[in-house]
């Protein structure tokens, strides 16, 4: 051990305390470099001294450290080689048996003996029905932990064991004076939180269970505050750049549009419409998320906002996630607007504007025309995909950006969209993916949220059924019969496959490919290019079939969608290119093949493509996964409820949190270790309140160095530098 310096603090490089070999390993394997990094590397769990790890609870695929008793060891000869290896059978003294194999047992065979209790680490796998640890590492217990009541088990890596990490942590804690606490004393008092030094000691070296629970509930605040302060600072920055106000213009396009709307707006559409009208009239840039379940009627809400901006002589851009959706939006906006979108054309209304579509597939001449219309301001509304609009378009005067159906649209992308001009455009994000409250407060924490709860009247529920072909192979015939029934009744059907086909083996257009383990040995997912011809020749012979996937040239995609829209096709066999936003009210059937290959929210989105008109929809989830598997649980959940909020919550439970919170962070090691979107709703909400107050009192956090440090843990590198530099 090196000098116990009194000036040790969280920024001190580990080399000041820990031996060089360990420092190298901690940096290389766990990306830990400073004292702060290491003390914030919390134990994953604790083993009570004496209590063996419950082997039945170990998950296949996890890297686990278990405290177990050696039952028996066997030395064996390798086939075709002189080397020996040692098989070790472990028990937890209940039901569990675990096997490990050590190669080069020359030294270990004298240490690992029946009756020994020790820590074994490795990746959990199964072989012939028995759990085993691959690449096991072994440590005797007593060397590693003295006589503490709990053994802390750390996230470890191959070549760096939990106990090695623990030793380094203890060395650091031995010499670390109480670090200065980033959380204001007032906050800690109100919330009843331990100070940082004590919490760190207790989370690493608990004496009682209450110690580590208490420590965690304090340390989770550091993360929640980091997130909320980062967001509060962003909100603050966003307001600093003013927007051009676009108030309601009497006698304008918007009023003309409302007069020709074929239906009455729902109460929700009207309410959100009023919110948007107020936001747009302000010089504070609007920053709003409208969330409404599939089919809630978000398009018309967005269009009305766009028209208010156009009435002020400015432009609006509508960004769609796919070319298919962009083309469809352009079509449906034009048809909703009718003569109001025909500026300069015969029959165009007097105050009419134009809707331009910017699509990758346009001919060079058409693209040039669209770009010119955007530049000159002739196009009041420009529709396109994100990439296209972001890179290529100069607007005459952009007043509003609408982002449709892009629930993975991170904070940074939103910043980029707002551009660098003197005035910021207003921003409206629309999503049908319901967002649990905690996610709304984190990933979308810089946005105001409006919810569009009710669906337009007359919607009929969608009946969803799981078709389990493993148990009931004959049900597949019923699926095709059902497709025929829908078509005979004058309706249309989507059939979705996870993969395009042709030469690719796995790549779908953008399927989420949930990982249920053991995916490798399964057959490749069904592909559009294989399924479609089979159906056309077989069970769906006689129906008019179209094919749609991401690899088709854009004009062909558009032609297929157009034909389906017009009722010239009965069935379209597609990938998830039809996942979001596509709106063909006459489509009533959705058959999803290999449904287990899709994520929860994808399935909900796909199902939302039907039942949009006045006829009831049917959704059939075809899967050969056996009951009880995680994939089937997901399908049963989708079949059991059409409540998007319920499904979103489940999705959050089934998905790793990192996927969700990752959107906040630009590809660096996560500063979030304890904060859970599922479990810390209360902390997130409360820290949001504190963050708003702190930033209002101390813009830029000039007087709160500790809090700036917490923010730096959360945000991406570029922004991080900005916070660290400021003193
Ligand atoms: P989403 O919210 O999923 O984007 P859309 O905007 O595509 O939903 O609307 C779904 C369908 O509902 C469209 O066909 C649209 O014309 C129709 N619609 C929207 N608002 C109403 C309304 N107030 N009354 C009746 N139909 C409506
Ligand atoms: Mg939509």
Instruction: Locate the ligand 1 atom nearest the alpha carbon of residue 299 and give its number.
Output: 6
Q: Determine the Cα–Cα distance for residues 661 and 659; give it in Å rounded to an integer.
A: 6
Ranking 247-251, 296-300, 666-670 by mean pLDDT, the lowest is: 666-670
Contact between 288 and 427 (Cβ < 8 Å): yes
Residue 448: closest CA among 437, 456, 440, 458: 440
Instruction: Locate the ligand 1 atom nearest the alpha carbon of residue 612 and give its number.
Output: 11
**Residue 82 Cα to ligand 1 middle (Å):** 73
Instruction: Locate the ligand 1 atom nearest the alpha carbon of residue 608 and give its number.
Output: 3
- pLDDT exceeds 60 at position 121: yes
Predicted local distance difference test score (pLDDT) of residue 270: 95
Predicted local distance difference test score (pLDDT) of residue 601: 76
The ligand minimizing its distance to the Cα of 451 is 1
Q: What are 645-695's pLDDT values in tens digits?
A: 777 777 776 654 444 444 444 334 456 778 877 778 889 889 999 999 999
**Residue 332 Cα to ligand 2 middle (Å):** 11
**Residue 603 Cα to ligand 2 middle (Å):** 16
Q: Which of 257, 263, 297, 298 to mutate to test the pocket of ligand 1 (most atoms within 8 A of CB)?
A: 297
93 to each of 111, 392, 429, 720, how far by Cα in Å? 20, 66, 55, 50
Residue nearest to atom 5 of ligand 1 (CA): 297
Locate the domains of the chain by residue range: 14-200, 462-641
* Cα dihedral across residues 638, 641, 644, 645: positive or negative: negative
Contact between 334 and 457 (Cβ < 8 Å): no
Look up tokens 């597939």; give the residue: 361
Instruction: Locate the ligand 1 atom nearest the alpha carbon of residue 452 and give its number.
Output: 2
Residue nearest to atom 10 of ligand 1 (CA): 295
Compare 392 and 232 and report the one with higher pLDDT: 232
Instruction: Locate the ligand 1 atom nearest the alpha carbon of residue 296 and give its number.
Output: 2
Q: Which of 295, 431, 582 to mutate to test the pocket of ligand 1 (most atoms within 8 A of CB)?
A: 295
Q: What are 132-167's pLDDT values in tens digits?
A: 987 788 877 654 445 677 888 887 777 788 888 999
φ, ψ of residue 175 to 5 degrees: the values are -110, -5
Predicted local distance difference test score (pLDDT) of residue 410: 58
**Residue 456 Cα to ligand 1 middle (Å):** 7
- Banded pLDDT at 180 (limits 50, 70, 90): confident
**Residue 406 Cα to ligand 2 middle (Å):** 10
Q: For 243-305, give the secondary structure using H, E and C.
A: ECCCCCCCCCHHHHHHHHCCCCCCHHHHHHHHHHHHHHCCCCCCEEEEEECCCCCHHHHHHHH
Predicted local distance difference test score (pLDDT) of residue 146: 54
Q: Determine the Cα–Cα distance for residues 284 and 425; give it in Å rounded to an integer.
A: 10
Share of the chain above pLDDT 70, in %: 86
Mean pLDDT, the chain, whole residue set: 83
Predicted local distance difference test score (pLDDT) of residue 142: 57
- Note the helical H segments in 51-161: 141-145
**Residue 448 Cα to ligand 2 middle (Å):** 19
Instruction: Locate the ligand 1 atom nearest the alpha carbon of residue 583 and give its number.
Output: 7
The ligand minimizing its distance to the Cα of 270 is 1
Residue nearest to atom 4 of ligand 1 (CA): 298
The encoded tokens of residue 637 equal: 């959940």
Question: pTM for the whole thing?
Answer: 0.67
The ligand minimizing its distance to the Cα of 455 is 1
Contact between 548 and 575 (Cβ < 8 Å): yes
CB atoms within 10 A of CB 277: 16
**Residue 296 Cα to ligand 1 middle (Å):** 6
Look up tokens 């008092």; give the residue: 189
Q: Mean pLDDT throughout 250-279?
A: 95
Architecture of domain 14-200: Beta Barrel (2.40)
Q: Determine the Cα–Cα distance for residues 555 and 559; give it in Å rounded to an integer.
A: 6
**Residue 579 Cα to ligand 2 middle (Å):** 11
Instruction: Locate the ligand 1 atom nearest the alpha carbon of residue 404 and give its number.
Output: 4
Share of the chain above pLDDT 90, in %: 39
Residue nearest to atom 15 of ligand 1 (CA): 297
Q: Which of 333, 434, 456 to mutate to test the pocket of ligand 1 (most atoms within 8 A of CB)?
A: 456
**Residue 299 Cα to ligand 1 middle (Å):** 7
State in words which class domain 462-641 has.
alpha beta
- pLDDT exceeds 70 at position 541: yes
The encoded tokens of residue 209 equal: 């269970």
Residues in the chain: 727
The residues lining ligand 1, judged by C-beta closer than 6 Å to any ligand atom, are 263, 265-266, 269, 292, 294-300, 432, 456, 581, 583, 585, 612
The ligand minimizing its distance to the Cα of 294 is 1
Predicted local distance difference test score (pLDDT) of residue 515: 43
Q: Determine the Cα–Cα distance for residues 421 and 42; give it in Å rounded to an integer.
A: 44
**Residue 452 Cα to ligand 1 middle (Å):** 12
Contact between 368 and 355 (Cβ < 8 Å): no
């Amino acid at each position: 051990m090196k000098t116990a310096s009194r000036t040790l603090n969280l920024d001190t490089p580990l080399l000041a305390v820990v031996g060089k070999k360990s420092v190298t390993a901690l940096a290389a394997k766990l990306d830990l470099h400073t004292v702060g990094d290491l003390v914030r590397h919390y134990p994953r769990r604790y083993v009570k001294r004496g209590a063996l790890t419950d082997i039945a609870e170990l998950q296949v695929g996890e890297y686990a450290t278990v405290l177990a008793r050696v039952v028996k060891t066997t030395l064996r000869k390798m086939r075709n080689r002189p080397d020996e290896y040692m098989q070790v059978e472990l028990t937890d003294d209940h039901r569990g048996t675990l096997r490990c194999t050590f190669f080069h047992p020359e030294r270990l065979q004298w240490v690992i003996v029946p009756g020994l209790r020790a820590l074994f680490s490795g990746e959990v796998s199964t072989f012939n029905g028995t759990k085993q640890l691959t690449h096991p590492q072994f440590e005797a217990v007593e060397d590693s932990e003295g006589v503490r009541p709990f053994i802390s088990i750390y996230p470890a890596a191959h070549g760096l064991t939990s106990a090695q990490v623990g030793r380094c942590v203890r060395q650091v804690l031995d010499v670390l004076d109480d670090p200065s606490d980033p959380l204001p004393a007032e906050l800690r008092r109100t919330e009843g939180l331990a100070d940082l030094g004590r919490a760190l000691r207790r989370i690493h070296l608990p004496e009682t269970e209450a110690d580590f629970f208490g420590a965690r509930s304090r340390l989770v605040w550091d993360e929640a505050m980091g997130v909320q302060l980062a967001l509060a600072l962003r909100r603050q920055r966003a307001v600093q750049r003013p927007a051009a106000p676009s108030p309601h213009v009497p006698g304008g396009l918007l009023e003309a549009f409302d007069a020709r709307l074929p239906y009455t707006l729902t109460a929700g559409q009207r309410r959100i419409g009023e919110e948007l009208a107020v936001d747009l009239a302000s010089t504070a840039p609007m920053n709003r998320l409208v969330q409404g379940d599939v089919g809630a009627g978000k398009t018309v809400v967005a269009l009305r906002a766009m028209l208010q901006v156009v009435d002020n002589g400015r432009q609006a851009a509508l960004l769609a996630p796919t070319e298919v959706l962009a083309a469809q939006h352009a079509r449906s906006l034009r048809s909703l607007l009718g003569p109001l979108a025909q500026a300069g054309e015969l029959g165009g209304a007097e105050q009419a504007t134009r809707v331009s579509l910017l699509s990758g597939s346009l001919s060079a001449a058409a693209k040039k025309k669209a770009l010119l219309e955007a530049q000159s301001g002739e196009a009041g509304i420009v529709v396109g995909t994100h990439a296209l609009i972001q890179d290529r378009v100069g607007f005459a005067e952009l007043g509003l950006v609408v982002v449709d159906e892009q629930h993975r649209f991170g904070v940074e992308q939103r910043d980029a969209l707002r551009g660098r001009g003197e005035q910021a455009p207003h921003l409206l994000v629309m999503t049908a993916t319901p967002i649990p409250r905690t996610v709304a407060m984190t990933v979308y924490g810089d946005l105001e949220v409006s919810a569009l709860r009710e669906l337009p009247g007359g919607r009929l529920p969608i009946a969803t059924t799981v078709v389990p072909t493993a148990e009931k192979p004959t049900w597949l015939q019923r699926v095709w019969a059902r497709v025929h029934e829908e078509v005979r009744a004058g309706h249309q059907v989507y059939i979705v496959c996870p993969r395009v086909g042709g030469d690719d083996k796995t790549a779908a257009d953008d399927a989420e490919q949930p990982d249920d383990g053991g995916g490798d040995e399964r057959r490749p997912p069904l592909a559009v290019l294989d399924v479609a011809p089979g159906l056309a020749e077989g069970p769906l012979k006689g129906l008019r079939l179209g094919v749609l996937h991401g690899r088709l040239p854009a004009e062909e995609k558009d032609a297929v969608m157009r034909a389906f829209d017009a009722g010239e096709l009965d069935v379209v066999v597609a990938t998830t290119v039809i996942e979001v936003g596509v709106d063909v009210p006459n489509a009533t059937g959705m058959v999803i093949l290999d449904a287990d290959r899709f994520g929860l929210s994808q399935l909900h989105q796909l199902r939302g493509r039907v039942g949009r008109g006045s006829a009831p929809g049917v959704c059939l989830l075809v899967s050969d996964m056996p009951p009880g598997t995680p994939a089937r649980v997901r399908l049963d959940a989708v079949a059991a409820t059409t409540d998007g909020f319920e499904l979103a919550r489940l999705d959050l439970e089934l998905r790793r949190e990192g996927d969700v919170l990752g959107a906040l962070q630009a590809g660096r090691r996560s500063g979030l270790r304890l904060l859970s979107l599922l479990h810390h709703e209360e902390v997130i909400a409360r820290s949001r309140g504190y963050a708003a107050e702190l930033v209002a009192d101390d813009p830029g956090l000039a007087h709160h160095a500790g809090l700036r440090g917490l923010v730096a843990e959360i945000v991406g590198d570029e922004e991080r530098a900005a916070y660290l530099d400021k003193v």
